[in-house]
Chains A and B, each alone.
Chain A
């Protein structure tokens, strides 16, 4: 392989890196409502998008409208983004369910702050993890990603757009205030160094097109509104033509396909990083800024002769079961540090089924989990 071209380096906030990633992924539409600690994403989009050929930026009246506007724009063929924090995320749940039902690609970045309610506007937390999974009503699949440093903010935003387009689904990227407001050096990948996936559009003549037809991947092709494929989009349970239905067999077919199109691609969707896990007796499972503390703690534990490892979750949902199973083959102890009261440790315990001992570290005081706190628990074995 030829020596890679030098990449442009910038000194950026996590929130800035999200914008860079979104633009590289082909995002051309931002609709949003300001909220701390996510506002930089919106402000930078407001400055950048009008300077691009067809970029659209619009500030809406609230987060409900933000979701409506980006879903509308996605139906019209755009790659779309919004960003918010806890209170706004709560308001977005209604139309998030719509986007799942109408299979509309979109990326939602939630920079988590302390909750509940108005909570701690400028302090970090990871309290929206289970809301990201189950916040909208009804049985539904969802892809939730996270990032633990500024480079990952860029990379995971690109991944989020690719998954949204590939699987015709909303993708939630969960950041925490620390990651979003950390400034560090990152590399901007050159074109061709990363994959950009765009939704499949139908190739058959319009009269043959069935908007919600079964396909091998479970993901039907999606034409932009106004391209000659006139069809019906609805949040009601619908048949293959998109028309509302109450027939039991059609209801089951739709809901099963919505789940299957995500579940069967677990190997593509469930992303983790492993550090020193191959022989680890003690494995820390962490995500977001906490994963950085965990990495340092693991290295310090190794220096102290403890076989520790880190399973860093980049995909939170669907939960990376297989990768957890792998470390469970030898781990005696799992340590799950989080800035909440144990939202992800529920998933870990569910997969663990009593095999290893699960230790949780929980902070809800608006402070980060420090490496020494994690190290202390690791050293206890």
Chain B
């Protein structure tokens, strides 16, 4: 019964004048992430007009076109810069950025750390599928060391980014990680990420069996979801684990949850102050 209600909610938020079918592969996790995002927005009862979805380039970038919000499909890696401009131009808008791991951590890495440092009031949703999917399965900065990809046919040599540590280190106000296997938890995270002030980073682990799995011993989508089920461990349990037990495990949950005001709020109060003083 729950699923049916969920679908009914989702249908209210899809664009019915958009030419379907969508671009995603069967078994892709991106649709699950989009579903949780829609339900989170529904839970928060934010009017569609007040939501701006800003997306980057890649499979995740295409999600924006299907949903009935204000949607901006930007350039590769630059979604956060557009989002920053939109939020500063109209702080009343709820600005949510959808990016992939290549988008946010590679070509857009600089923008991610500066959005975090600035603590701009934007929610950054990073769909991490460990690979460049749309372009055919090349390595991304989130590809695990040792993996086989089209650009690392003999095994990935460099280490992958820890999105959570990166976002926390750069100063994000809210940092969480979830997976598409743990949907309810991801939905809860998203509700919280959107309602917090300042910069929120949500890393959603979403499998790509087409480009990552098939070259790395996860032949079917089911294999990949089984991996997620096994690898993901709630943060509190992860902390109690020994170093050995932590091997190949991925902590999920909320890592940072603060209430520092966003850059746009600080700017507005500075502006009010300066104007009250009548200039200098």
Contact = CB atoms under 8 A, between A and B. Distances in A.
Interface of A: 29, 31, 50-51, 53, 55-56, 58, 60-62, 64-78, 80, 94-95, 98, 224-228, 230-236, 241, 243-244
Interface of B: 15, 17-19, 48-50, 52, 54, 64-65, 68-75, 78, 80-86, 88-90, 92-93, 110-111, 114, 267, 270-271, 274-275, 279
A192 B68 CA distance: 41
A67 B18 CA distance: 29
Contacts of B85: 29, 31, 58, 68-76, 80
A174 to B, nearest CB: 23
A243 B92 CA distance: 26
A61 B110 contact: yes
Contacts of B111: 61, 64-65, 68
A64 B78 contact: yes
Given A51-B275, A76-B90, A78-B89, A241 B49 contact: no
A230 B73 contact: no
A72 B271 contact: no
A68 B75 contact: yes
B71 A233 contact: yes
A56 B267 contact: yes
Contact of A58 (B71, B75, B88, B92): B88
21 contacts: A60-B84, A64-B78, A64-B111, A68-B75, A68-B78, A68-B85, A71-B82, A72-B82, A72-B83, A75-B72, A76-B90, A225-B86, A225-B93, A226-B49, A226-B92, A227-B49, A230-B49, A230-B71, A232-B71, A233-B71, A241-B18
Contact of B274 (A51, A60, A76, A231): A51
B93 A76 contact: yes
Contact of A60 (B72, B81, B270): B81
Contacts of B84: 58, 60, 65, 68-69, 72
Given A56-B88, A232-B71, 11 more contacts: A29-B88, A61-B110, A65-B84, A69-B81, A72-B82, A72-B83, A72-B86, A75-B85, A75-B86, A228-B49, A233-B72
A29 B270 CA distance: 16
B65 A232 contact: yes
The list of the 7 closest CB pairs from A to B, nearest first, reads A68-B81, A72-B85, A69-B85, A76-B89, A73-B89, A72-B82, A234-B73
B89 A72 contact: yes
B159 to A, nearest CB: 24
A234 B65 contact: yes
Contacts of A244: 65
Contacts of A74: 85, 89
A226 B71 CA distance: 10
A230 B69 contact: yes
Contacts of B65: 232, 234, 243-244
A77 B74 contact: no
A53 B276 CA distance: 11
Contacts of B110: 61-62, 65
Contacts of B19: 243
A230 B70 contact: yes
A141 B275 CA distance: 41
Contacts of B69: 230
A226 B275 contact: no
A65 B65 CA distance: 23
